[in-house]
């Protein structure tokens, strides 16, 4: 049985003017467990707190009820008071008789009566309170960044500069991501490679950064501060330590049938290849599906020609196990495939290209060395039509419902660059809306129109077809002119919708980090915690959280790094003790609680159970207290009541309900 003290606060006249505080104290004295009750002008004042402290000592109190303002105001204060007087801080409950009572009622009798009932509920709860202790867990001072694009690189550099170890895992043979494929960047038109490659080099050379390229995260276990991650380093069949990157092997490879991924398949590459000149690491990789040696056992020219004996056909995938305190997701994006948009003729006509392909066609390091030409006949196009929103803002299920955000700007960029380099080329842009909310963005778009004479047409293309004579006919509507027009073009560029990278979904499951229906990672709070995932210790950087351009991505990358640094700077993590607890004697191991847990805090373990009559091994739920945030979703999903929430137990809430429902004067 508890020994409870009740302390009724006047809050000056805030409470006392409408609530008869003396009567409340008097009435609550007769509640079960209550051995002491008092009222005071300002309970939160030093004197008030001392009153509580001495009562705890004098009456050997085990539980405290303070009838005062909202617990959101002073719960922490009174917990500290209790703690200083030697009882567990979680033995304190607050009855909110100010915000919920004195401030909203005028009639003294009514307010007093309500205050008594609220006090009773708090007393009933405290009777069932148990001491709780905050958990503590150590923090591994190392971060993992998944994805080696601009987002991942920036996050890793920022964390590394702060003095913490960072590993980058990149699934492709090189870091750099999508940005490495771009030609110029809006709105300043500086060359992407010029600003990105120095960062790639910096990441590779940083003493605190380890790169795992051509690698994937295989398994994630653990929780904030203590993640256990298994990384698969795929065999590239070239020894990274021996290879000097001379490129001898790539030039000797007799197979030329591979499609150059970096150039969006617009040209070919050998079976052993370095994705692009500035790749990091500058080490080739063998495409085993294409390699003659792997297919037939014969060839091996690359191995024979390698001056440093780095080619190793017997290489196997390697597994690396590492511990991390924090994980940053920076998996980036891709563009959708266009089989649902054949009205634009992407698969029928070679000269209908995506914007990313166009990016490569414009790029000095691209398949045409920067000379803009049509893929079909390598002629320079004289009329180009750009189509925006191809698959974006589509609610039919064919594309993506969201706005891809970056297309308006890069299309303006493409149009502008085309007109600058080839002033005799006519450029049309079909748009639904031109969205340019960014610094210098609208100015940029207007420049394309006013200075470069790009024809912007408000309307959408209905069909692209060929006239049988090498031209593409683009039929669309010009809504402002109220007409349907057909443009005879040489090339059509489609701003295909963006999508989350395919690896994201699998990773989301591994990390138990929640995602939206579009496979973008969800942030912990859309406004106030935009770079954190709801899963503690998992942070978000770049496009993986939603469409973003480069400046935004870099900003978010830095923000994510700051959050990681804040976490790694701590030696221990304290956790909220009001978390779920599974009773292994009752748990049936049905997994229902696991399914509703938003944080992945529940796992299952084969546990020896002994309830006095039965001894056996059973699959039972285990709550990771460092991960659980205490929402209680699991407690309702659990039919047997094995899952309960500390600080808000079933019994406690029942007791509150019962106390409120008791007849007056009972």
Q: Restricting to residues 449-468, name those near another protein by CB under 8 A.
A: 458-463, 465-468
Closest contact distance (angstroms) between CB of 595 and another protein is: 4
Closest contact distance (angstroms) between CB of 189 and another protein is: 29
Which of 396, 423, 424, 439 contacts another protein by CB under 8 A?
A: 396
- Decide: is 31 part of the binding site for another protein (CB under 8 A): no
- Decide: is 70 part of the binding site for another protein (CB under 8 A): yes
Phi and psi torsions of 456, nearest 5°:
-95, 125
Cα separation of 500 and 495, whole Å? Answer: 16
Which of 399, 508, 546, 547 contacts another protein by CB under 8 A?
A: 399
Cα separation of 24 and 112, whole Å? Answer: 7
DSSP β-ladder status, 184-185 and 190-191 = antiparallel
Cα separation of 392 and 135, whole Å? Answer: 46
Q: Which stretch binds another protein (CB under 8 A): 38-46, 104-112, 175-183, 308-316?
A: 104-112
Cα separation of 177 and 169, whole Å? Answer: 12
Which of 596, 603, 607, 622 contacts another protein by CB under 8 A?
A: 596
Cα separation of 221 and 612, whole Å? Answer: 33
- Decide: is 622 part of the binding site for another protein (CB under 8 A): no
Site string for another protein, 406-435 (x = CB under 8 A): --------------------------x---
CA atoms within 13 A on the CB side of 594: 15
Closer residue to another protein, CB minimum distance, 277 or 661: 661
Q: Binding to another protein (CB under 8 A): which residues in 324-383?
A: 339, 341-343, 345, 347-348
- Decide: is 17 part of the binding site for another protein (CB under 8 A): no
CB 517 within 8 A of CB 290: no
Cα separation of 582 and 649, whole Å? Answer: 12
Which of 79, 114, 165, 269 contacts another protein by CB under 8 A?
A: 114
Cα-to-chain-centroid distance, residue 286: 33
DSSP β-ladder status, 135-138 and 572-575 = antiparallel
Closest contact distance (angstroms) between CB of 103 and another protein is: 4
Q: Binding to another protein (CB under 8 A): which residues in 629-648?
A: 629-633, 635-637, 639-642, 644-645, 648
Closest contact distance (angstroms) between CB of 553 and another protein is: 23
Closest contact distance (angstroms) between CB of 84 and another protein is: 24
Q: Which stretch binds another protein (CB under 8 A): 130-138, 170-178, 181-189, 584-592?
A: 584-592
Q: Binding to another protein (CB under 8 A): which residues in 246-265?
A: none
Closer residue to another protein, CB minimum distance, 270 or 534: 534
Q: Which stretch binds another protein (CB under 8 A): 138-146, 217-225, 318-326, 594-602?
A: 594-602
3-state secondary structure of 242: coil
- Decide: is 71 part of the binding site for another protein (CB under 8 A): yes
Instruction: Give the residue from 84, 88, 93 showing the smallest Cα distance to 54.
Output: 84
- Decide: is 206 part of the binding site for another protein (CB under 8 A): no
CA atoms within 13 A on the CB side of 513: 32
Which of 47, 484, 509, 571 contacts another protein by CB under 8 A?
A: 484
Q: Binding to another protein (CB under 8 A): which residues in 527-546?
A: 534
- Decide: is 552 part of the binding site for another protein (CB under 8 A): no
Q: Which stretch binds another protein (CB under 8 A): 159-167, 211-219, 371-379, 582-590?
A: 582-590
Cα separation of 47 and 640, whole Å? Answer: 47
Query: Cβ–Cβ contacts within 10 Å for residue 574, how many?
Result: 11
- Decide: is 519 part of the binding site for another protein (CB under 8 A): no
Non-local CB neighbours of 133 within 8 Å, separated by 6+ positions: 88, 577
- Residues in contact with another protein, counted by CB under 8 A, come to a total of 105
Does an H or E element contain 535, and which?
none
Q: Binding to another protein (CB under 8 A): which residues in 210-229?
A: none
CA atoms within 13 A on the CB side of 251: 6
Non-local CB neighbours of 369 within 8 Å, separated by 6+ positions: none
């Amino acid at each position: 049985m508890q020994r409870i003290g009740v302390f009724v606060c006047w809050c000056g006249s805030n409470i006392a003017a409408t609530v008869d505080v003396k009567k409340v104290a008097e009435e609550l004295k007769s509640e079960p467990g209550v051995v002491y009750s008092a009222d005071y002008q300002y309970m939160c004042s030093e004197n008030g707190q001392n009153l509580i402290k001495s009562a705890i000592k004098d009456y050997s109190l085990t539980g405290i009820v303070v009838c005062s303002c909202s617990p959101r105001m002073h719960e922490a204060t009174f917990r500290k008071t209790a703690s200083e007087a030697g009882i567990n801080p979680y033995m304190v409950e607050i009855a909110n008789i100010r915000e919920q009572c004195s401030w909203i009622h005028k009639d003294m009798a009514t307010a007093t009566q309500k205050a008594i009932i609220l006090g009773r509920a708090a007393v009933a709860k405290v009777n069932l309170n148990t001491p709780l202790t905050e958990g503590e867990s150590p923090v591994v001072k190392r971060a993992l960044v998944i994805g080696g694009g601009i987002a991942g690189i920036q996050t890793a550099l920022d964390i590394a500069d702060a003095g913490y170890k960072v590993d980058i895992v990149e699934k492709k043979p090189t870091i750099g991501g999508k940005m490495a494929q771009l030609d110029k960047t809006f709105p300043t038109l500086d060359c992407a490679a010029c600003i990105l490659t120095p960062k790639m080099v910096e990441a590779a050379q940083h003493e605190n950064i380890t790169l795992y390229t051509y690698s994937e995260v295989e398994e994630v276990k653990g929780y904030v501060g203590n993640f256990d991650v298994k990384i698969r380093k795929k065999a590239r069949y070239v020894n990274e330590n021996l290879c000097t990157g001379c490129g001898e092997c790539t030039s000797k490879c007799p197979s030329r049938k591979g499609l150059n991924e970096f150039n969006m398949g617009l040209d070919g590459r050998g079976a052993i290849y370095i994705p692009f000149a500035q790749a990091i690491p500058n080490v080739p990789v063998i495409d085993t599906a294409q390699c003659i040696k792997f297919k037939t056992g014969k060839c091996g020219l690359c191995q024979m020609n390698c001056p440093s004996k780095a080619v190793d056909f017997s290489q196997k995938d390697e597994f690396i196990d590492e511990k991390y305190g924090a994980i940053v997701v920076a998996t980036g994006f891709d563009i959708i495939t266009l089989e649902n948009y054949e009205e634009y003729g992407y698969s029928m006509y070679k000269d209908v290209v995506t914007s990313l392909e166009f990016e490569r066609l414009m790029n000095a390091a691209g398949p045409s060395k920067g000379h803009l030409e049509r893929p079909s006949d390598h002629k320079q196009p004289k009329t180009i039509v750009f189509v925006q929103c191809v698959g974006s803002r589509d609610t039919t299920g064919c594309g993506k419902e969201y706005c891809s955000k970056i297309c308006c700007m890069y299309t303006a960029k493409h149009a502008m660059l085309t007109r600058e380099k080839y002033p005799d080329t006519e450029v049309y842009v079909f748009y639904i809306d031109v969205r340019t909310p960014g610094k210098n963005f609208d100015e940029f778009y207007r420049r394309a129109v006013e200075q470069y004479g790009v024809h912007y047409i408000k309307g959408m293309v209905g069909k692209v077809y060929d006239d049988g004579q090498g031209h593409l006919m683009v039929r669309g509507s010009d809504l402002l002119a109220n007409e349907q027009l057909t443009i005879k073009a040489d090339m059509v560029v489609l701003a295909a919708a963006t999508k989350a990278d395919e690896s994201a979904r699998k990773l989301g499951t591994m990390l138990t980090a929640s995602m939206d229906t579009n496979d973008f990672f969800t942030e912990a709070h859309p406004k106030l915690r935009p770079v954190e995932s709801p899963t503690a210790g998992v942070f978000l950087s770049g496009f993986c959280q939603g469409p973003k351009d480069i400046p935004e991505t870099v900003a978010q990358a830095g923000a994510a790094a700051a959050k990681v640094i804040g976490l790694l700077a701590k030696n221990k993590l304290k956790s909220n003790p009001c978390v779920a607890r599974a009773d292994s004697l009752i748990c049936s191991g049905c997994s229902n609680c696991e399914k509703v847990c938003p944080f992945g805090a529940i796992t299952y373990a084969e546990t020896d159970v002994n309830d006095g009559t039965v001894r056996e091994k059973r699959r039972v739920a285990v709550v990771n207290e460092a991960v659980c945030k205490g929402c209680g979703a699991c407690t309702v999903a659990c039919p047997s009541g094995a899952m309960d929430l500390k600080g808000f137990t079933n019994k406690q809430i029942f007791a509150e309900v019962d106390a409120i429902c008791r007849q007056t004067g009972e």
